[in-house]
Amino acid sequence: MSEHLFLRACRREPVPRTPVWMMRQAGRYLPAYRATRAKAGSFLTLCRTPELACEVTLQPIDEYGFDAAILFSDILITLPPMGIDVTFPEAGPKIPSPVRTSAEIAQLGIPDPNDDLRYVMDAIRAIKVGLSGRVPLIGFAGAPLTMMTYAVEGGGSKDYAKTKAMLYGAPKDAHALLDKLAKTCTSYLEAQVTAGVDCVQIFDSWGGIVSPGDFREFPLRYAKRVIEGLRGSKTWMRGEGVPIIYFVNGCAPYLDDYASSGADVLGVDWRVGIDDVRRRVGDGVALQGNLDPGALFASPSEIRSRVADILARAGADGHIFNLGHGVLPETNPEHVRAMVTAVRELSAKA
Amino acid sequence: MSEHLFLRACRREPVPRTPVWMMRQAGRYLPAYRATRAKAGSFLTLCRTPELACEVTLQPIDEYGFDAAILFSDILITLPPMGIDVTFPEAGPKIPSPVRTSAEIAQLGIPDPNDDLRYVMDAIRAIKVGLSGRVPLIGFAGAPLTMMTYAVEGGGSKDYAKTKAMLYGAPKDAHALLDKLAKTCTSYLEAQVTAGVDCVQIFDSWGGIVSPGDFREFPLRYAKRVIEGLRGSKTWMRGEGVPIIYFVNGCAPYLDDYASSGADVLGVDWRVGIDDVRRRVGDGVALQGNLDPGALFASPSEIRSRVADILARAGADGHIFNLGHGVLPETNPEHVRAMVTAVRELSAKA
C-alpha cells in the first residue's frame, strides 16, 4: 500500500502521473449516492451504519477510479459524544444548544472514539475490506477552530460574530474550548489510524475567517497541536506513519505560516494560484488542489484546459489533484469524469 | 472640501493624522439608527425617504466624528428599476424571480438614475446640506460581479453555485448580464457625483469567490469598465475628479492585479496584512482598512493595540483607517469609540 501513487505523492516521491481524488466525492452529485441515501432514510443513519457508509465510500472509486477513497462521514459527528447535540435538516446542520459560556465549556467531555464513535471504526474496517488494497483510504476530522464555529454559532454563519465574540472578547473561554476540541480531534484521528486508514485530512473549512495574526493564535496553533499529538502517539506509526493533510479553505493570506503546521500535505483552495502557494511555502510539503468546484459547470473542453493549467502550475511531483473545496451537488457526473480523464492523460510522464 | 483629511489621504498627500470611517457606520449597532429605523417602519422606506436617509447618515458623524459620511442606502436598490424585484425581510434580501436565462437577461433595462433613483439623489442633496462641509460624503454602488451574484442566486449564497454555473457554463449570458450591471453602476455613480458626493466606493463584496484568472475575467474586468467609464464622463470632473475606492472582500489572492483596477484607493479586508498588500500593489494607490469587524468584540485596550498594529503596518500617508468589512450589528458602540479615539491619538504626527 505504501507504494501507491497517492501515498508516494504525499511523500513528494516521483510518480508516473498525478493522483486525483475529490473532496465530498461520495456525495449528492452521484446518482448511486442518492439511491443509498434514500435507502438509509436519514443522513445520520447513513453515517452511523457501517455497511451503508462503506457502500457510498466505494461508489466513486468504482465509478471514476479515483486514486484515494475518503471515509464517508461528517466532521460534526464528534460533537454529540462531547455533549453537543447536532441535527441534520436539509438546510444544513443545526446545534440546538450552542456552547457560549465557560460553564457550558467546562461540562464538555472528550469522547472515547473506540466506544462513542465505534461505528466509524467499524466503517473503516468494512471499507478496507471492500477496497481490498485497490487504493488508500483517507480518514478525516474537523480542525479545532472549524469545530468551534459550529459549536458556538449553532450552525453555519455569514460573519461568525458569535465565534469572534468568544475569540476576542473571552479568549480564555475560546482557548478552553479549542483545547477540548483539539484533544477530541487527536484521539479520534488516532483511533481511525488504528482502525486502518492510510492517511488523514484535517479540515479547517472556516480557518480562513481571521486575520494572519489570529490565524497563528487560533486555527494554526490548535491544528499544530493535533498534528504534533498524532506524530507523538504510539499507535500512530503504521509503516512510516501515515501522511497528514491540513486543509484551510481560504489559505491565501496565511502562506507565510501555512507550512509550519507540520502537515505532510497542504490543501489549497481555488482562490489562489497553486504556483504562488508553492513559491511561498517552499518544497518541504506536498500540495493538494485546486480546481474551483464551480468550474465543473464549464464544458468538458474548458475543464480540460483548466486542469492543464493547474498541472502546469503545480509541477509533476508533490502534487495531488483535487478540487479547491467539496464538489457541488448540482455537478454533472460526466464533468467529473472529464476532470479525472484530463488529470490522468495530461499528467502522465512519457 | 478638497483639502479635507479624508480626500487628501485618498490622493496620498501627507496628512496630520490618519482619517477614519467605518463601513456600515450608519447601521444597527447604533441606538439612534434603530430608533429611526423603527420610525421608518421598513428598511426600504428608510432607503427611499431622503430626510430619513439623511438622518441616519449624519448620526455616526455626530456621535463619533468620523472623517467621512457615507450615503445611507443599499447596493440592491438598483435592481428593481432594472426589472428585478427585491424584498428585504429580516433574514436578508430576497430576489423572488432570479435572473438565469438569456431571455431574462435580454429583458433587463438600464435605469435612468435621475428618474428611477431620484430619491437617492434627493438624499445626497439633503445630506450635503446637513453636513454643511463638515466632512466629505461618500457615494457607493455594488460592483457588477457582486450585483450578479444577488440577481442570479436570488439572495445570499454559501457556494455561489448558480452564479458559477452561469460564469463558466454560459459565459455569454454572464458577460451580457455583467455588461448591463456595469452600465447601470456607471450611470448611477455618475448621477451621485452630479448630485454632490465627494468620493465613490464600488463594493465588490463577493468579488473574492473566484480563482485569480477568473478574477481578471469577471469582477476586475467589469469594475475597471465602471472606473474607466466614470473617469471618461463629462459630469465626472468636480474639481480634480472625485476619488474612486474599489473594495474587494477577500482580496488577498488577487494582489498582483488589484492595483490595475484604476481606482485611487483599494479597500483591504481583515484577512490579509495591510503591509503585505502595500508591498504587492506598490505606491500608486491609497489603501483603506483593515480591522476585523469581529475585533471590536475585544476589550478597548486590545482594540487599541490592534489599531496600533494596523497603523504601523500601513504607514502614515495614503492610508484611510476602516474596518475590513461592515461593522457587525452586535457591536458595542463604546468599542467603536475606542477604535476611533485610538486612530486619532496613535496616528497624530508630532
- Which among B156, B209, B294 has the least Cβ separation from residue A168? B294
Q: Which residues of A touch B211 (CB under 8 A)?
A: 270-273, 292, 295, 324
Cα dihedral across residues A54, A56, A59, A61: positive or negative: negative
Instruction: Output the CA torsion A29→A31→A34→A40 (10° steps).
Output: -140
Share of chain A above pLDDT 70, in %: 99
Determine contact: B200 vs chain A, CB below 8 A: no
Phi and psi at A141, nearest 5°, equal -155, 160
Mean residue pLDDT across chain B: 96
- Cα A325 to chain centroid distance, Å, stands at 9
Mean residue pLDDT across chain A: 96
- Cα B108 to chain centroid distance, Å, stands at 24
- The mean per-residue pLDDT over the stretch A166-180 comes to 98
- CATH class of the domain whose range is A71-228: alpha beta
Residue A239 has pLDDT above 60, yes or no: no
Determine contact: B47 vs chain A, CB below 8 A: no
Residue A237 has pLDDT above 70, yes or no: no
pLDDT in tens, A128-149: 999 999 999 999 999 999 999 9
pLDDT in tens, B137-171: 999 999 999 999 999 999 999 999 999 999 999 99
Q: How far is CA B307 from CA A214, A253, A281, B289, B349, in A?
A: 14, 19, 29, 10, 16
Residue B202 has pLDDT above 60, yes or no: yes
pLDDT in tens, A64-113: 999 999 999 999 999 999 999 999 988 889 999 999 999 999 999 999 99
Determine contact: A252 vs chain B, CB below 8 A: yes
pLDDT at res. B236: 73
| B5-347 placed in CATH 3.20.20.210 | yes
Is A70 buried (19+), middle (13-18) or exposed (0-12) by CB count in 10 A?
buried
For chain B, what is the radius of gyration of the CA atoms? Answer: 19
User: Are A110 and A187 spatial neighbours (Cβ–Cβ below 8 Å)?
Assistant: yes
Is B283 buried (19+), middle (13-18) or exposed (0-12) by CB count in 10 A?
exposed
* DSSP character at residue A87: B
Residue B246 has pLDDT above 70, yes or no: yes
- Which among A169, A292, A294 has the least Cβ separation from residue B298? A169
The domain ranges of chain A are: 71-228
- Which among B169, B309, B328 has the least Cβ separation from residue A161? B328
Are A273 and B212 inside 8 Å of each other by CB?
A: yes
Are B161 and A302 inside 8 Å of each other by CB?
A: no
pLDDT in tens, A267-310: 999 999 999 999 999 999 999 999 999 999 999 999 999 999 99
Continuous segment of H or E residues that includes residue A258: helix A255-258
pLDDT at res. B35: 98
pLDDT at res. A238: 60
Nearest Cα residue in chain A from B166: A297
Amino acid B269 reads: D
Catalytic residues of A: 24, 28, 37, 74, 150
Task: Provide the 3-class DSSP secondary structure of residue A80.
Answer: helix
For the record, the C-alpha cell of B294 comes out as 469581529
B292 catalytic? Reply is no
DSSP β-bridge partners for residue A244: A200
Are B294 and A159 inside 8 Å of each other by CB?
A: yes
The residue among B23, B164, B331 with the most chain A CBs within 10 A of its CB, best to mutate, is: B164
Q: How confident is the model at residue B188 (pLDDT cuts 50, 70, 90)?
A: very high
Cross-sheet strand order for the sheet of A319-323? A69-70, A137-142, A199-204, A244-248, A265-267, A286-291, A319-323
Quote the minimal CA–CA distance from B4 to chain A in Å: 31
Q: How far is CA B170 from CA A46, A147, A295, B101, in A?
A: 36, 37, 11, 9
Residue carrying C-alpha cell 502550475: A313
The residue among A28, A160, A168 with the most chain B CBs within 10 A of its CB, best to mutate, is: A168
B37 catalytic? Reply is yes
Are B252 and A272 inside 8 Å of each other by CB?
A: yes
- Whole-number Å distance between alpha carbons of B42 and B45: 5
- Whole-number Å distance between alpha carbons of B159 and B192: 33
- Whole-number Å distance between alpha carbons of B247 and A290: 25
For the record, the C-alpha cell of A210 comes out as 481571521
- Whole-number Å distance between alpha carbons of A221 and A240: 25
pLDDT at res. B237: 65
User: C-alpha angle B203/A253/B171, rounded to 5°?
Assistant: 50
Are A208 and B271 inside 8 Å of each other by CB?
A: yes
Task: Provide the 3-class DSSP secondary structure of residue B77.
Answer: helix
For the record, the C-alpha cell of A173 comes out as 473561554
Beta carbon pairs, A and B, within 8 Å: 112
Are A161 and B253 inside 8 Å of each other by CB?
A: no
Please list the alpha-helical segments (H only) found in chain B: 5-10, 31-40, 43-48, 50-64, 79-82, 102-106, 113-116, 118-131, 144-153, 161-169, 171-195, 212-215, 221-232, 255-258, 274-281, 300-314, 333-347
Are B330 and A165 inside 8 Å of each other by CB?
A: yes
Amino acid A39 reads: K
The 10 Å CB-count burial string (b at 16+, else e) for A173-205 is bbbebbebbbbbbbbbbbbbbbbbbbbbbbbbb
Which of B24, B48, B100, B306 does the annotation list as catalytic?
Answer: B24
User: Are B200 and B140 spatial neighbours (Cβ–Cβ below 8 Å)?
Assistant: yes
Is A226 buried (19+), middle (13-18) or exposed (0-12) by CB count in 10 A?
buried
B118 or A237, which is more confident = B118
Are B328 and A159 inside 8 Å of each other by CB?
A: yes
Q: How confident is the model at residue B92 (pLDDT cuts 50, 70, 90)?
A: confident
- Whole-number Å distance between alpha carbons of A184 and A178: 10
pLDDT at res. B266: 98
Find the largest Cα–Cα distance for chain A: 62
- The mean per-residue pLDDT over the stretch B288-294 comes to 98
pLDDT in tens, B5-50: 999 999 999 999 999 999 999 999 999 999 999 999 999 999 999 9
Q: How confident is the model at residue B240 (pLDDT cuts 50, 70, 90)?
A: low
pLDDT at res. B349: 87
A182 Cβ contact partners less than 8 Å away, ≥ 6 residues apart: A144, A222, A225, A226, A229
Residue B238 has pLDDT above 80, yes or no: no
